[in-house]
Structure formats: C-alpha cells, structure tokens
Chain A
Amino acid sequence: MLHADFFRRWMTAAAASVEREAERLTALDSPIGDADHGSNLHRGFAAVVAVLEKDAPDTPGAVLVLAGRQLISTVGGASGPLYGTLLRRTGKALGDAVEVSEGQLADALRAGVDAVMTLGGAAPGDKTMIDALVPAVAALDESFTAARSAAEEGALATTPLQARKGRASYLGERSIGHQDPGATSAALLIAALADTAEHREATDA
C-alpha cells in the first residue's frame, strides 16, 4: 500500500528530474514553441517541493491536490493548468484514504489524464503530453516500470507527428520532426513515479 510519504517522494523525484532536464526541455521547446518549458516547470516543481516541506498533508490525495494547486499558482502558460489539473484531479480521485493500492493509483491517474484531455481538448496523436500519459496509464495496470517505458515510447513517437494543439500547432507541417516537449516532461513525471516505486521496493526488500 502507498502512503502520503510515497507521494511526497514522487513529487520530490519529479522536481529533481525536471531540474536536471530543464535545459533539454527548453531546447525541445525552442524550435516549435517559445523556449521556456524547462524553466517554467522547474519554477513550478521547486514551489511544489517547498510547499510540501512547509505543509505536510497526511493523505496521498491531499499531497497531490496541494501539489496541483501549487503548479496552477506558479507555472503559468498552458503547462500550469494542465499539469496542475492532472495532479489535482488524480488527488481528488484518491479521496481522503490514508493509504491507497497501486490499482487505486492507476484508476486515479486515469481520471486525472481524462480531466487533462477535457481541459485542453487534446486527443492522442495531437503531439501533446497526452501522447505520453495515455499509454502510461494503460501500462500502469501491468507495472510502474511498464508505465515508464510506455511514456518514454509515447514521447519519442511524437517526433513524426504534426502538432494540432498548443503553440506548435501554428507551425503546421513545420512542427514535424521535433519531439514534443510536453510529452517529454510527462514522461519524466511518470519515470519519477516508477523510480519512487522501485526505490521503495528496493528498501522494502
């Protein structure tokens, strides 16, 4: 079973990963966006870590709701509302249980991804974060590791696509041939979840 501490460690791992990869995300955002995806997410996740240190919610749902709210308040752009909604709605779906199963987390994440699709109006194949998140939640029923691979493959598979949502869509055919920065950061978030789960299993053993 997963407790609030697991979700705090997931958010901390995500923040560290976004910090490490900020330059790469910004570089991916440069040819098809406006070159700030890395710096914006870095600012947001640093704020998430800070608020979780100050205010330590004691349920998994509350950790994610607080993290999501913090992203909405600090990131701006499209990423703020989209990532904020992903975490908030996943947290809300977890309710106020003190511990949740891996299956419950998979269901809640699916609800979170659905909320992101409704908010942004994007579907798989539009060259957005959805292209990493949808395969990831499908693979989550199998394992965290499978979800990480599916998200990474999903992000790589955005390269040949033509963007239909977000700022890259203004480039039309010229968006083809570039990996989507949003799908890439979404894969980082899922990888951080898998790392947190694997680390927990290693410590438990």
Chain B
Amino acid sequence: MKMLINVAETVVADALRGMAAAHPELTVDVENRVIVRRDAPVAGKVGLVSGGGSGHEPLHGGFVGPGMLSAACPGEVFTSPVPDQMLRAAAAVDSGAGVLFIVKNYTGDVLNFDMAAELAEDEGIQIAKVLVNDDVAVTDSLYTAGRRGTGATLYVEKIAGAAAEEGQPLERVEALARQVNENSRSFGVALTACTTPAKGSPTFDLPAGELELGVGIHGEPGRERRAMMTSGEIADFAVNAVLEDLNPRNPVLLLVNGMGATPLLELYGFSAEVQRVLTERGVAVARTLVGNYVTSLDMAGASVTLCEIDEELLRLYDAPVRTPGLRWGV
C-alpha cells in the first residue's frame, strides 16, 4: 500500500502543519492538536467545539471558521481525541457565553467529551452537549452502542454555528442542534474498505464484486454484504433505508457525501439517482451538497443524509460560512 506520508506516527501532526500554513485565518496548535478560529473568543458568542478521530477530513478541522465551528480537536486516526484537547479548545473559545460540545455517538467520543465537560465545568466554563446519531443502519440500540453519528454532523455544525454567530444564547443553540439531529438520517455504503496508515492494509476484506451496505465512517464493516449494484440500485436502497425512518412532510437538505476515494464524476451521477428516488417518493429537496465532507480515508463509497427543515433551519443553513471545507455567502 502506497501512501503520501512520511511515517504513520506523524500523519496527524504533519496534516496539522499543512493546515496551519494553508489557513492563516485559523490558529493551529500542532503540539496540542487544537484548531481554533483566529478571532476566538468572540465576545458574547457561544463557542462551538467538535472533534473526533482524524481521517474524516474536512470534518472537523475543515469546518472551523465564522459561521460554523469555533474550534476542533482531531484525535489519532479513527480514535477520539482526549479530554485535554477538548478542555483546551473550550477554554480558547469561551467568551463567557458558554460552549456547546458537538459529539458523534461513538463510545470513545462520548466518554472523552463527558470527561472534558466535567473538567471544563470545574474551570467555570458552562458546557452543553449535543449527541449526533443519525445513522439508520444501526437499528436496535438495546443491542448496540446506539446509532452512529455520520453525515448529519455537518448540518448540526452548520446550523448551530450560524445561530451562535448571530449571538443566540447557549440554550437556543443547543436546542437547534438537537432539532437538526432529530430531523436528520443517514445511510452509507462502501465499495472498498479503507486503509489506515498505522495498519497499512485494508481494515476488512471486501471482494471486488461485492459492496457493504450500512457502513459507518471508521472503516468498520457494515451490516450486510451484497453483490455489486448499479448507482441507481444503491440510491434506491440508501434512500429507502433513510425514508423508512424519516417521513419528511417539509422539504429536506440533501447531502450526497463521498467516503474519500470516489470521484466527483461518480458522486454526481449517484446524486442524480438519489434525486430521482426522492422525486418518486414525493420528497422536495431545498438544498443539495455533493462532495467529500465526512470521509473515511481512502474508502470508496458514499452516504446519503436527509435533514427535514423549516424556514428557520433553512435561513440558518443559508447564512454565510467561511471555513476551509465549506464556504458560501461571503
């Protein structure tokens, strides 16, 4: 396996050095692994901190900036960050208005953010937390760690970020973040496994003629394996899985997300199929994003996320955002 790296041990630090050089509008603490918007803390503004394992770029460091996250803490590849990073991030962005932790539902992320919240509260920082768990591939939470957080994370960070930018108070920003999560569902498929730098070989064995349905974003296998399908068949499967769980009566935001190794040529073609299924099912799409936003290193495949919106959520979604990975209205 060939990778454009020096050694596996320094991939995260090397990437952060590159981010720092490319984005002088961010403060990148390479040693402590915290990415902060340069003007933080912004007076009167709620701070938004997210984080998780590295390998999902641009999530989360690529979503730091005006209109979205105040700070992000990247962990090792596919490993949640540690509480010390989260505490540093919270302290760097708290203006006294409090900090919202946006946490994807994975055991490691949840435990580390819980510990960080306790430490931050000991230091007098008011903390609220929202758990993102939009993945419909995980069904029965009695027998699992609960639904994973995947594509909806982008919507939570964007919409809560816009509300915070307007100066809305912590309770309101938290409530909006929860509403976005509750209105969102995702389903992902993998055409190949991914290869982590530390392991150097694919994390699971997926023969050429097969695909995994219902994958998460950490290279873990999905719920089910089938013979390779066409883009249209995958779109039918993924959208139907989402709509089994979400019955939108209002228009939706649509995210057709690449897992890292699928070219835009394929993603746009897949997006056309997804739009076709949504039209057939009578679901109106208000805004569409197509691209690699919540990735899994070099995994090929895609996920579909729908978020049912109202006027307020759409207004906040459309509000200006200026980050390395998402930018409009500015």
Chain A count of residues within 8 A CB distance of the other chain:
34
Residues on B with C-beta less than 8 A from A72 are: 82-83, 115
Contact B143 A120, beta carbon cutoff 8 Å: no
* Contact A81-B106, Cβ < 8 Å, known A73-B82, A171-B223: no
Contact A73 B84, beta carbon cutoff 8 Å: yes
* Contact A76-B80, Cβ < 8 Å, known A33-B220, A170-B138: yes
Residues on B with C-beta less than 8 A from A33 are: 220
Q: Indicate whether B275 reaches chain A with its CB closer than 8 angstroms.
A: no
**A residues 79-114 with Cβ under 8 Å of B?**
79-82
How far does the Cβ of B188 sit from chain A's closest Cβ, in whole Å? Answer: 12
How far does the Cβ of B1 sit from chain A's closest Cβ, in whole Å? Answer: 13
Contact B144 A81, beta carbon cutoff 8 Å: no
Mostly, the B contact residues are: loop
- Cα separation A162 to B145 with both chains bound (whole Å): 12
Chain B count of residues within 8 A CB distance of the other chain:
36
Contact A170 B108, beta carbon cutoff 8 Å: no
0/1 string, A18-43, CB within 8 A of B gives 1:
00000000100011111110011001
Identify which of B81, B107, B138, B203 contacts A165 (C-beta below 8 A). B107
Residues on B with C-beta less than 8 A from A167 are: 106-107, 145, 216, 218, 220
- Cα separation A169 to B220 with both chains bound (whole Å): 11
Q: Indicate whether A200 reaches chain B with its CB closer than 8 angstroms.
A: no
Identify which of B112, B203, B216 contacts A80 (C-beta below 8 A). B112
Q: Indicate whether B219 reaches chain A with its CB closer than 8 angstroms.
A: yes
How far does the Cβ of B114 sit from chain A's closest Cβ, in whole Å? Answer: 8
Contact B111 A120, beta carbon cutoff 8 Å: yes
Contact A36 B196, beta carbon cutoff 8 Å: yes
Identify which of A32, A43, A76, A174 contacts B108 (C-beta below 8 A). A76
Q: Indicate whether B79 reaches chain A with its CB closer than 8 angstroms.
A: yes
Q: Indicate whether B237 reaches chain A with its CB closer than 8 angstroms.
A: no
Identify which of B79, B108, B143, B204 contacts A169 (C-beta below 8 A). B143
- Cα separation A111 to B81 with both chains bound (whole Å): 26
**B residues 88-137 with Cβ under 8 Å of A?**
106-108, 111-112, 114-115, 137
Contact B111 A81, beta carbon cutoff 8 Å: yes
Contact A76 B203, beta carbon cutoff 8 Å: no
Q: Indicate whether B148 reaches chain A with its CB closer than 8 angstroms.
A: yes
- Chain B: residues with CB nearer than 8 A to chain A? 53, 75-84, 106-108, 111-112, 114-115, 137-138, 142-145, 148, 196, 198-199, 203-204, 216, 218-221, 223
* Cross-chain pairs A/B with CB under 8 angstroms, 13 sampled: A36-B199, A39-B76, A39-B198, A73-B82, A74-B82, A76-B75, A76-B81, A78-B111, A119-B111, A167-B145, A169-B144, A170-B145, A174-B221
